[in-house]
Structure 1
Amino acid sequence: MSYTNDIETLSVVEDFQPKLNFKPQQEINTTDFKVLSLFSGCGGMDLGFQGGFEFRGKNYKKNNFQTILSNDIDAAATKVYEANEKYFGNHQIIEADIREIPYSTIPDFDFMIAGFPCQPFSNAGKRKGINDERGSLFEECEKILIEKENSQNQPKGFVFENVRGIMSSKMPDGTSIPDEIVKRTEKLGYKTTYKLVKASNYGVPSARYRLIIIGTKKEYGRFDFDLLDKVVQEYELPNEKNAPYELMVGSILSDIDSKLPQAKDYWKYSPSGQYMVDKIGPCYGSKAVLKKFKNNTPIDELPEQVHKGRSWKNMDREDMSPRFQKIHDNPKKYRAPNFYRRFSLTEINGTITASAQPEACGITHPFENRRYTIREIARIQSFPDDFVFPYTTIANAYKVIGNAVPPILGWVIAKAISKHLEINA
């Protein structure tokens, strides 16, 4: 079996043929940078890098990046990826463990984008880092970069994304994982840098923190993260720093058409979870208040109570379980976390986690006692309204959205990298 276009030929190892199952690829613009996407999830970063989508009436134009091959091991994620043929119909996603894919089947690329598994680096985990089996998957990215150093068209750079917990994960010698990645990739001839970014500063309606690691070949110099802010300014993107209105929960929920795909699909809480949500009670709001956001009513013309979020702390003590009573009675010891957070209509929603559990993240609708619908959390993650999330179990839909890189954040990063390459060409 062979796969051919005007860019290159990709030969497939015979005994690996069933997993690859390549389909014809549309012609790639020769001026575009070719992107290899690893640990792609449902395609948030891929969509951002490619561009060519709309979000709430704003057109995020096509970027000069084109994904040529994607990979993820999660069947729930690849199911979503393949369903969005409008955006990803011109290339293949391989559902397989990256360690099982022969290097000879990976085409030459200009940029690698990869959100290697974050579990070993999470704040709640044991932080084994690269020594953990999943953490070592970073080394698969490294091996592919090394392999492609011997190709005719060497990579120009890479973008890695991970949770902020990776910053406190250590190697046995005490080196932080990000610094270890910098050290290893600079040995390969890249200038590598990283920054913890907050997605809501870059057009995303979610106060989601992620570590972004960017390396470009040394002839291009070291990437300047200030370019992200320049993209935000140039394209007049809403942002938490000076234009937050469009990112507020009330604004995001105000204009979701009930006829949109999965606009009514939501995952019901367990009886105990529903009990907590009911006892916490709703934030101030209604469909009439959402209409005010849709009409861009100034914040100072809204009632004062619209600013107040809620959490388990708003429950009556007698309604709490013994566990929560214990935390309630000794807040200093337990640091009184905001479990069961409900963001107000004038707040920017927090991170939607893959587990989508109300105790762990702000997944509860402000004034309806339920989880956000699939469409609502897709909005919070900045997916376009025509991006669909087919699922076998509804929990899988929440998982893949929670794991995704917000497309608009990916779009800003891609635009900034383009600027960097132009400046240093």
Structure 2
Amino acid sequence: MPKIVASLFSGCGGLDLGFTGGFAFQGREYERLNTNIVFANDFDQDAANCYNANPLLTADGADCLLQDIRTVEADAIPNFQILLAGFPCQPFSNAGNRKGVNDDNGRGTLFEECERIIRAKINAGHRPQAFVFENVRGILSSKMPDGVTTVPQEISNRMHDMGYNMSMQLVCASDYGVPQQRYRVLIIGIDAELGIGNFDFNSLQEIIHEYHIPSRSFGRDEELLLGSILQGVHEVQDDVVWGYSETTQRSVDLIGGCRHGMEAFDYFVPGFRKEDLPEVVFEGRSWKDIPYELLSPRFKKIADDPKKYHAPKFFRRFAFGEINGTITASAQPENCGITHPVENRRYSVRECARIQSFPDEYSFGNIPLQSRYKVIGNAVPPVLGWVVAKALLNFLPEN
């Protein structure tokens, strides 16, 4: 029997696709898993529309319900064994104006909706076996209103009160098959009544080895380098690029492309080894490559006192020989590596999707261009989701 899964704050379905499986990425098959997603939900219309445009998600599972989860009664959600929730991360993010649980829109407390639904299912006699929460690493230091208790401590306390053993780990997606240095916190709870203890995050590494998945830390990472990921992307139909503003474009032009040039693509052939690549393909660029006299007053201020400003890497351009940094929802070059290594433009939608490990057949439906970048940046990388799902399914009892 398949494991019954419910998904909250589903976004465009990155984590759900991981828990479903049955997709290919960069020539590697991620097998269909023995799961059935019976409920998915998001409040963002573009994210829900994007989710529902994908047979990869909806052919065997539920459509994404467009509704504020705070207005959804627990008994309207089918009973489930595993709960997935990437509750909105912006209040906890290091990339934005961090507010934690005091976010003006109430997003910082949305993890309490997960608690409400799990508790209601327990009270109704349908005790979930496990939950998987995902969030940005800023949550680790985000505080509850008392100013002392961290949000993870609060989650742990509440879930322990309901009888769940909780494990938490800060992971980097590039360690688990994703071509992106994306740090996220995974929180996995296991029903103590199952008598199997806590989930062991070392089991993720075992999945990497068993399925020969590329990894920055646990194996070979050639397949994760930008030069590999961008191969053939121009052949994908309906790819589009969101242009930069005039001011931003000027900065990008001044920085210039990485020194290796487009001819470096020729190094990234099947079976190449990183050790054989010339040093130039590892050399990225940033605002620091703009001549001082051409810097804006803002950047001159930072350049004059780099210690004060922690020498930020605005307008980072990752080289073909590097693993890209985090793709964010804003898709702005000031705070993430979103600019092509050689061409003076933002990554295309499909290039961003590949960096997030979405398969090329993933559809964005008819949602607006800027929203495509947003839903990609907010998503959990599907390959990371698949690795977590595979390890969790191996850990849980079959019944």
Cα-to-partner distance string for 1:356-386 (whole Å, 9 max, x where unaligned): 0001100000000001111111000000110
Q: Tell me how far 1:391 sits from its aligned partner.
A: 4.3
Is 1:145 the counterpart of 2:122 in the alignment?
A: no
Matches within 5 A, 1:157-176: 157-173=130-146, 174-176=148-150
Residue identity in the other structure for 1:205: P
2:264–2:320: 8 Å Cα contact kept in structure 1? no
Superimposed CA distance per residue, residues 320-372 of structure 1 (whole angstroms, 9 cap, x where no aligned partner): 11000111111111111000000011110000000000011000000000011
Gaps of 5+ in 2: none
Deviation at 1:231, TM superposition (A): 0.6
Q: 2:165 aligns with which of 184, 191, 204?
A: 191
Tell me, yes or no, if structure 1 residue 89 matches structure 2 residue 64: no
Distance 2:307 2:262 in 1: 38
Find out whether 1:394 has 2:369 as its counterpart: yes
Secondary structure of residue in 2 paired with 1:332: coil
Deviation at 1:192, TM superposition (A): 0.8
1:136 paired to 2:109: yes
Q: What residue number does 2:237 align with? A: 261
Relative distance call for 1:153 and 1:279 in structure 2 (3 A) is same
Q: In the alignment, what sits opposite 1:62?
A: 32
Matched, 1:39 2:9: yes
Partner of 1:382, secondary structure, is coil
2:285 to 310, 335, 346: 310
CA–CA separation in structure 2 for the residues paired with 1:66 and 1:221: 24
Map Cα deviations across residues 79-114 of structure 1 (whole Å, 9 max, x no partner). Answer: 111111243233121001001112221110011000
Aligned partners of 1:56 and 1:298: how far apart in 2? 17
Structure 2 partner of 1:320: 295
Distance 1:53 1:199 in 2: 18
Q: Give the one of 230, 239, 251 matched to 2:215.
A: 239
Instruction: Give me the whole-angstrom Cα distance separating, in 1, the residues matched to 2:309 and 2:255.
Output: 20
| Residue in structure 2 matched with residue 18 of structure 1 by the alignment | none
Query: Structure 2 residue aligned with 1:182, among 156, 160, 163?
Result: 156
Query: Aligned partners of 1:391 and 1:371: how far apart in 2?
Result: 20
Letter in 1 for 2:206: K
Structure 2 CA distance for partners of 1:317 and 1:237, relative to 1, 3 Å: same
Q: Distance in 1 between matches of 2:118 and 2:226?
A: 41
| Identity percentage of aligned residues | 50
Give the aligned partner of residue 154 of structure 1. Answer: 127
**Could you tell me how far apart the structure 2 residues matched to 1:382 and 1:32 are?**
25
SS of match in other structure, 1:333: coil
Checking the alignment, whether the CA contact within 8 Å between 1:78 and 1:95 is kept in structure 2 is yes
Check whether the contact 1:246–1:252 (CA below 8 A) recurs between aligned residues. Answer: yes
The letter for the 1-side match of 2:54 is N
Name the SS of the counterpart of 1:135 in structure 2. helix
1:55/1:212 Cα in 2 relative to 1: closer, same or farther (>3 Å)? same
Q: Deviations over 1:163-190 (max 9, x none)?
A: 0000001123411111110110011111
Query: Relative to structure 1, is the Cα distance of residues 103 and 301 closer, same or farther in structure 2, using a 3 angstrom cutoff?
Result: closer
| Counterpart check, 1:106 vs 2:83 | no
Partner of 1:215: 189
Counterpart Cα distance in 2 of 1:149 and 1:329 = 59
Question: Contact between 1:48 and 1:410, CA under 8 Å: does it hold in 2?
Answer: yes
Q: Runs of 4+ in structure 1 displaced over 6 angstroms?
A: none
SS in 1 for 2:126: coil
Measure the CA separation in 1 of the matches of 2:299 and 2:293: 10
Report the Cα offset of residue 388 of structure 1. Answer: 1.3
C-alpha deviations, 1:220-251, integer Å up to 9, x for none? 31111110111111111100013111101111
Q: Is the 8 A contact 2:143 2:151 kept in 1?
A: yes
When normalised by structure 1's length, the TM-score is: 0.89
Deviation at 1:390, TM superposition (A): 2.9
Cα distance in structure 1, aligned partners of 2:276 and 2:177: 24
Is residue 203–residue 239 contact of structure 1 (8 Å, CA) maintained in 2?
yes
Quote the RMSD (CA, aligned, Å): 1.6
Shift of 1:131: 7.2
Work out the CA distance in 1 between the residues paired with 2:367 and 2:25. 26
Unaligned runs of 5+ in 1: 1-30
Q: Scaled by the length of structure 2, what TM-score is found?
A: 0.95
Alpha-carbon deviations, 1:233-282, whole Å to 9, x = none? 111110001311110111111232x331333x111000011001000010
Query: Quick one: which of 160, 171, 176 aligns to 1:202?
Result: 176
Contact 2:100 2:139 in 1 (8 A): no
Alpha-carbon distance in structure 2 between the residues aligned to 1:290 and 1:296? 14
Query: Aligned letter for 2:183?
Result: Y
- The residue type paired with residue 39 of structure 1 is F
Structure 1 residues 312 and 131, CA gap change in structure 2 (3 angstroms): closer
Residues matched between the structures, number? 392
Alignment partner of 1:378 out of 353, 359, 362: 353
